[in-house]
Amino acid sequence: GKRLHSVFAEGEEPYYGSALCRVAGLQVNGAVCAGFPSPAEEELRDVISFDDYLVAHPETSFLLSVTGDSMTGAGIMEKDLVIVEKGRQPKDGDIILAEVDGNWTMKYFRKKGRTITLEAANPVYPPIVPQTELRIAGVITALVRKYHR
């Protein structure tokens, strides 16, 4: 598990209200094909606010910086930022932030019957079956990555 002391102080819950700042909207200038090349499409579209696009519930959402490589198969890399929504009920296949037996982790949530398993997106890490305690802090709802820092 990873330390979350910068977000969760000992014995207290994080403050969620202003954890995300407002970002100016950017104009969408069309679409680009990520598969085989196709003619460029340059029609002007709406302006998109990243706040509205990435954060459905700002009052219950916060950011975490990712460390480790257990979720690389899901496209989540070290130094990425993830947006976590507190209080959202996880569904099978969601990526969650959870405290398992005293350690914090981000994994796929799997539920079969009454059995809950947390799975990494990297085969190096074995599945986790909580032994004594599982506290789900939230569901990962978005990923933010900068290519040039």
Query: Where do the domains of the chain lie?
Result: 55-144
pLDDT band (50, 70, 90) for residue 94: very high
Question: Quick check: 93 pLDDT over 90?
Answer: yes
pLDDT, average across residues 47-61? 87
pLDDT for 4 equals 47
14-23, 39-48, 55-64: lowest mean pLDDT where? 14-23
| Helix or strand (DSSP H, E) at 65 | strand 61-65
Look up the pTM and report it: 0.76
Cβ contact 82:104 at 8 Å: no
Report, as residue numbers or ranges, the catalytic residues: 70, 107
On average, the pLDDT of the chain sits at: 82
**CB-CB neighbours of 56 under 10 Å:** 13
pLDDT of residue 49: 82
Name the CATH superfamily for 55-144: Umud Fragment, subunit A (2.10.109.10)
Give Cα 59 to chain centroid, integer Å. 16
